[in-house]
């Protein structure tokens, strides 16, 4: 029963992640990471198929794990995050919430930029990582 539940939840998060490719307010990467989390616990076949798929490679593996993201990609990511943070600031008339959202957004900018721009600690020898 648990295995089937994880497969179903993984299918749901995969669907939301795929919708996130089209809809800018849905975070594709987060839902794809959740899909991998649920499918690794349910079915090795589904997990292997997913992590070798083009969508996982394009939205999770290259930009987040291997840090191969262009400046244009980073810019698009921060604009999308800005829109997501801006919507509640427009809809809710609360100064404390707006300031908090602004501070959280700035921490996201700094933290994500630091993570993506720092060099990986793995050494590459003869084309293979240690």
Tens place of pLDDT per residue across the chain (130 aa): 888 999 999 999 999 988 888 887 778 888 888 888 898 888 888 888 888 888 888 888 888 788 888 888 888 888 888 888 888 889 889 999 999 989 999 998 998 888 888 865 544 444 444 4
Instruction: State the Cα–Cα distance between residues 62 and 80, nearest whole angstrom.
Output: 19
pLDDT of residue 11: 92
- What's the sign of the alpha-carbon dihedral 83, 85, 91, 93? negative
Instruction: State the Cα–Cα distance between residues 64 and 94, nearest whole angstrom.
Output: 34
Q: Residues with Cβ < 8 Å from 84, sequence gap 6 or more?
A: 24, 25
Per domain, the residue ranges of the chain are: 2-65, 71-119
- Residue 13, Cα to own-chain centre: how many angstroms? 12
């Amino acid at each position: 029963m648990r295995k089937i539940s994880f497969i179903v939840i993984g299918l749901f998060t995969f669907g939301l992640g795929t919708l996130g490719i089209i809809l800018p307010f849905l975070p594709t990467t987060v839902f794809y990471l959740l899909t991998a989390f649920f499918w690794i616990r349910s079915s090795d076949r589904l997990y292997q198929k997913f992590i070798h798929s083009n969508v996982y490679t394009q939205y999770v593996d290259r930009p987040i794990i291997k840090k191969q993201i262009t400046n244009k990609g980073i810019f698009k990511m921060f604009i999308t995050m800005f829109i997501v943070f801006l919507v509640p600031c427009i809809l809710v008339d609360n100064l404390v919430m707006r300031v908090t959202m602004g501070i959280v957004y700035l921490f996201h900018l700094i933290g994500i930029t630091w993570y993506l721009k720092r060099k990986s600690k793995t050494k590459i020898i003869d084309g293979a990582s240690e």
